[in-house]
Amino acid sequence: MKKILTLHIGRAKTGSSAIQGALKASRTSLALAGFCYPMTGGKKNDKNHPILAHACNKNHPLIARACNKNYQATQGVDINNLKSEFEKETAEFNKIIVSSEGFQNIIEPKLFEYFFPRQLANSEGLFKTYYEIRTLCYLREVLSGARSAFSQRVQTTGMFCSFSQFLHHYASIDLHVFSKFWRSVSDTVEFANYCAAKQLPKGVVSDFERRIGLSLESSSDILSRNPSISGNLLIFKLLINKLGLFDEAHSPLLLDLATSEARFSGGFCIEKTVSEKLRNKYSEYNKCVTSLSGDFILEDYSHAPPLFDAENWQKDLEMFLDKPEFSGFKDDSRIWSEDPGGWRIDE
């Protein structure tokens, strides 16, 4: 049986959480319209499909597999079982939507084409289900994307580096190679302009609705559920990471702090002259974004709050350390001796 698969590849800070939250909240109405947004391949709150994406990525470090004809996993996920569960859940539907940031990390087609074959038979054998794959990915201008992604990476991982180091890594991704790969494993590919989409009434969710031809549940909570940390909260998390004190259990508190006080969320200041130099340095990345998704607006970040607020640092540091999740760090002398004033947006 042939099915239509809408595959959303979530790149960092391109509205993926809002899209996935709206899809999860709309599962019932989607089913009534003939679409399945499956739970198979998800984890925790099952709003997206990271396990499915990881299973299709032979290089994923958490899921090792034996390289044999039967795709048997040596540990982690067994792709055969996952494929069976996925096909069982989606059996009654001929339109399926899947979404994950993990898809962007796939660089070899074999496992992906095994999970989502585009023909009834290939060199691996016969398949009872095959797919017409319609891939969608939103792209951002290099400085806009890296600025938001830097905050997210610091927030959700133990990463410690300067923004300029992160920007260099962000811009090193060859979008031409990325687009060529996804065109090779899809029937159609759309690279959408995030800058244009976020101007719509519900931001990127409005654009996604237009592309699939359906309206989704999109409360204000869904649309704003993934703020970027900023200001002294971002500096504090950088400090935690630098000292090797990262713990995933801190994430809910960081989100609470970011949503409870405006100065702890949003973006940070990058002076105009620095922005111009950085954009010139990575102009090839932006040329590729334009060629794939159209023109974008060069945003001015010179009026945003500074990355480090020296005037309020001591007060904020004490407030952070009064939280039960961080109170155990109070006796660590390194917390008090570090000088974040030197962590600047360099060129």
CA 39 to chain centre: 18
Name the β-bridge partners of 122.
125
Q: DSSP letter for 335, please.
A: H
pLDDT of residue 210: 96
3-state secondary structure of 15: coil
Parse the chain into domains and list their residue ranges. 2-140+174-223, 231-342
Under a CB-based contact definition with an 8 Å cutoff, are residues 187 and 5 in contact?
no
Name the β-bridge partners of 5.
96, 133
H or E stretch including 7? strand 2-9
3-state secondary structure of 42: coil
User: What does the pLDDT profile of the chain (347 residues) look like in tens digits?
Assistant: 899 999 999 999 999 999 999 999 999 999 999 999 999 998 766 788 998 998 898 765 444 333 333 434 434 568 889 999 999 999 999 999 999 999 999 999 999 999 999 987 665 567 788 899 999 999 999 999 999 999 999 999 999 999 999 999 999 999 999 999 999 999 999 999 999 999 999 999 999 999 999 999 877 666 666 788 999 999 999 999 999 999 989 988 999 999 989 999 989 999 999 999 999 999 999 999 999 999 999 999 999 999 999 999 999 999 999 999 999 999 999 999 888 877 766 65
Name the β-bridge partners of 130.
2
CA 88 to chain centre: 27
Cα gap 268→305, rounded to integer Å: 5
Q: Assign residue 41 a region (left: φ > 0; alpha: ψ between -120 and 50; beta: otherwise).
A: left
**The domain over range 2-140+174-223 is classified in CATH as 1.10.10:** no
Q: DSSP letter for 327, please.
A: G
